[in-house]
Amino acid sequence: MDAANTPAASQPSTSSTHPSTGTTEIPPQRDAAASPGATDSRVWRAGRLEPMPIRELPDPPPSIHLLGPTVFLVALGVGMGEAYMWPRLVLVFGPEIRWLFLIGVTLQAFVMLEMARYAMATGESIFFGAARVFKPLMWFFFAVAILVYIWPGHLSTGAAAFEQVTGIPWVVTACVGLILVGILFSLASVIYPLLESLLGILIGVLVIGTAVAASLVGRWSDLTATLAGMFQFGYFPEQAMSAAWFPVLVGAIAFAGPSGMQQMWYTLHLRDSGAGMGAHIPKIRGLRSAGNEEAMPSRGFMFDTDNQQEMRKWKGWRRWVTFDAVLLFWGVTMLVTVSFTVLAQTAARQSPDVTALILEGDREASLTAMADAFASAGAPILRGVFLGFIALIGLNATLGLFDSFSRGQADMSYHFIPGMKRFGMSKLYAGFLWGVITFGILILLFGPADGPGAILDVLAFLSTLAMGAYCVVLLLVNNRMLPKPIRPGFVPNLVIGFGAVFYLGMLLYSLFRFGVVVG
């Protein structure tokens, strides 16, 4: 039997349940004890956790607006995979290999839409949804987040590029950057609008700059080859099936767009932006304004899926998030990789050294060599532009990653660690934020930034494993914890199921066939 449709045993006999939705009526005499503000006394039961009260779904935005929480996914997702890993694979295997990138990013766009389905319908994070299915699943993600994301290694490439442009040592930039991020998020009265504005401007500049840079140095032939390569389905050179390259390829596919737990964190940003039922959940505040925080409800809310008016609003919200997924997420991610691939092809044509360095796999050396190639080929300005973008990508990722990590851990701690509610969500957020910053600075100064060498493979394994696991969680949560009228259809289920098999299958194949986890 569907857990979502099972009324609790303790439900009074006077209540009635709508079989199609599992919405349970609470008898009027009980509701009379409630305040006049209680507008609806029905609840939606999902799993064994507290039922969700039925509330009104807010109206979708009156027009399609161009900025939304997707800005976080773009900021997190457009990273080194797009700027370095895929251009490198194109130089090694030719543009035809890009069909795998198309699959990877399209899969991630579907994941994004399905993550949004649960978050917008309930105002709960996907972590909460996982706990409704089976609590240890959520604790798995809690542990993976700490193991994978506390290492500050992601700062190094961006800070190194900044060092190339300004001469300031990268460790100094990274440490100062960490402290500034902490101060910024602690002083803001409400975190979400600040971060959205900041990342909005940074990504706007990145997108404009990347497009202009690619238009200055690229060629029609590079672009058509890159675009045509995206449709060479099935192309898989023999060399790619080697212990040296297969894990790299798996890593590049998994890291096309947002990787690891970034999609799960997106549900928290959706909620904080007030999308769908997230409107009924208060926003997270900075430490300075934590005293003004509204009490966080102990669970999310559901809307009445039997009401046609509410379902019309739901369709409006789905259109809104689909626009975000297609144009902003898929479009911008594609644009940045295509542009960087064109840049890499241009650099390789101008300087054979670049090809050699890229093939060797030294990321920082390759990026610097690409920048130098532009400088020596009569476009010196592009050296600065190129390195500036790498630094900008690093900054975006750092801002987004630290905020997202702290949000996710605070959300799980608040709801599921006994005694944590007394601190309030904002203080827990600040605790995780400053915890990860302090640890990051200590590691940058005294330890291995990427994490201890011996566990690097384990971290890469866990990161990809989390992606396969969240596909499974998505299938369970959306098909069992949501009312039938808003559950995913056949196609989204098929694609997410394919995602689970794809991520887990490739990961395990790489491990057992070659004895190597993703590269």
Partner 1 sequence: MKNHGELALPGAVIGASAGVVAGGLALLVGQPAGWAAATAVGLGLPMALAGGAFGLLLGAGIVRPGVFAPVGLYWLVAFPVARLLHEVLAGLLIAGRPALPADPLGFLAYQAMASLGFAIGFSWLHERIAPGWLGRIRERNPRAERLYGFYLRHAEAQWKAREGRRRARAAGRGAGPATVLRNKGES
The distance of closest approach from Cβ of residue 296 to partner 1 in the complex, given in angstroms and rounded to an integer, is 11
Task: Out of 31, 306, 360, 362, name the contact with partner 1 by CB under 8 A.
Answer: 31
Smallest Cα–Cα separation from 46: which of 98, 123, 156, 155? 123
Question: Which listed range, 79-87, 153-161, 171-179, 291-299, lies at the site for partner 1 (CB under 8 A)?
Answer: 291-299
The distance of closest approach from Cβ of residue 246 to partner 1 in the complex, given in angstroms and rounded to an integer, is 32
* Placement of tokens 């840049």 in the chain: 343
Contact status: 187 vs partner 1 (CB under 8 A): no
DSSP string, 372-420: HHHHHTT-THHHHHHHHHHHHHHHHHHHHHHHHHHHHHHHHHHHHSTTG
Question: Which listed range, 125-133, 146-154, 193-201, 349-357, lies at the site for partner 1 (CB under 8 A)?
Answer: 193-201
Chain centre distance of CA 373: 33
Question: Which listed range, 8-16, 182-190, 418-426, 458-466, lies at the site for partner 1 (CB under 8 A)?
Answer: 8-16
Task: Out of 14, 16, 20, 30, name the contact with partner 1 by CB under 8 A.
Answer: 30
Contact status: 378 vs partner 1 (CB under 8 A): no
Contact status: 203 vs partner 1 (CB under 8 A): yes
Contact status: 43 vs partner 1 (CB under 8 A): yes
Helix then strand then coil, % of the chain, to nearest 5: 70, 0, 25
Contact status: 508 vs partner 1 (CB under 8 A): no
In DSSP terms, which residues pair with 53 in a beta bridge?
43
CB 180 within 8 A of CB 406: no
Touching partner 1, residues 146-175 (CB under 8 A):
165
Number of residues that bind partner 1 (CB under 8 A): 74
Helix (H, G, I), strand (E, B) or coil at 254: helix
The distance of closest approach from Cβ of residue 53 to partner 1 in the complex, given in angstroms and rounded to an integer, is 5
The distance of closest approach from Cβ of residue 176 to partner 1 in the complex, given in angstroms and rounded to an integer, is 19
- Please say which residue, 68 or 258, places its beta carbon nearer to partner 1: 68
Contact status: 309 vs partner 1 (CB under 8 A): no
Q: Where are the alpha helices (DSSP H) in 152-296?
A: 154-166, 170-187, 191-217, 220-229, 246-254, 262-272
Residue 452: how many CB atoms within 10 A of its CB? 12
Contacts of 122 (CB under 8 A, 6+ apart): 46, 52, 128, 129, 277, 300, 301, 302, 481, 482
- The amino acid at residue 441 is I
- β-pair type (23-24, 52-53): unpaired
Contact status: 193 vs partner 1 (CB under 8 A): no
Question: Which listed range, 130-138, 154-162, 198-206, 417-425, lies at the site for partner 1 (CB under 8 A)?
Answer: 198-206
H helix and E strand count, the chain? 21, 3
Question: Which listed range, 35-43, 82-90, 146-154, 346-354, lies at the site for partner 1 (CB under 8 A)?
Answer: 35-43
CA distance 426 to 428: 5
CA distance 158 to 437: 17
The distance of closest approach from Cβ of residue 354 to partner 1 in the complex, given in angstroms and rounded to an integer, is 18
Contact status: 427 vs partner 1 (CB under 8 A): no
Contact status: 11 vs partner 1 (CB under 8 A): yes
Contact status: 211 vs partner 1 (CB under 8 A): yes
CA distance 437 to 31: 47
Question: Which listed range, 213-221, 402-410, 433-441, 478-486, lies at the site for partner 1 (CB under 8 A)?
Answer: 213-221
- Please say which residue, 40 or 310, places its beta carbon nearer to partner 1: 40
- Please say which residue, 237 or 380, places its beta carbon nearer to partner 1: 380
- Please say which residue, 63 or 308, places its beta carbon nearer to partner 1: 63
Task: Out of 14, 16, 39, 292, name the contact with partner 1 by CB under 8 A.
Answer: 39
Contacts of 502 (CB under 8 A, 6+ apart): 107, 468
Task: Out of 100, 112, 214, 441, name the contact with partner 1 by CB under 8 A.
Answer: 214
CA distances from 134 to 47, 318, 413, 474 (A): 8, 27, 16, 13
User: How is residue 398 written in tokens?
Assistant: 């750092």
Local structure of residue 134 (DSSP, 8 states): -
Task: Out of 132, 154, 269, 299, name the contact with partner 1 by CB under 8 A.
Answer: 299
Task: Out of 2, 16, 176, 219, name the contact with partner 1 by CB under 8 A.
Answer: 219
Touching partner 1, residues 249-278 (CB under 8 A):
274
Contact status: 381 vs partner 1 (CB under 8 A): yes
Touching partner 1, residues 48-77 (CB under 8 A):
50-51, 53, 55-56, 58-59, 61-67
Question: Which listed range, 34-42, 92-100, 471-479, 499-507, lies at the site for partner 1 (CB under 8 A)?
Answer: 34-42
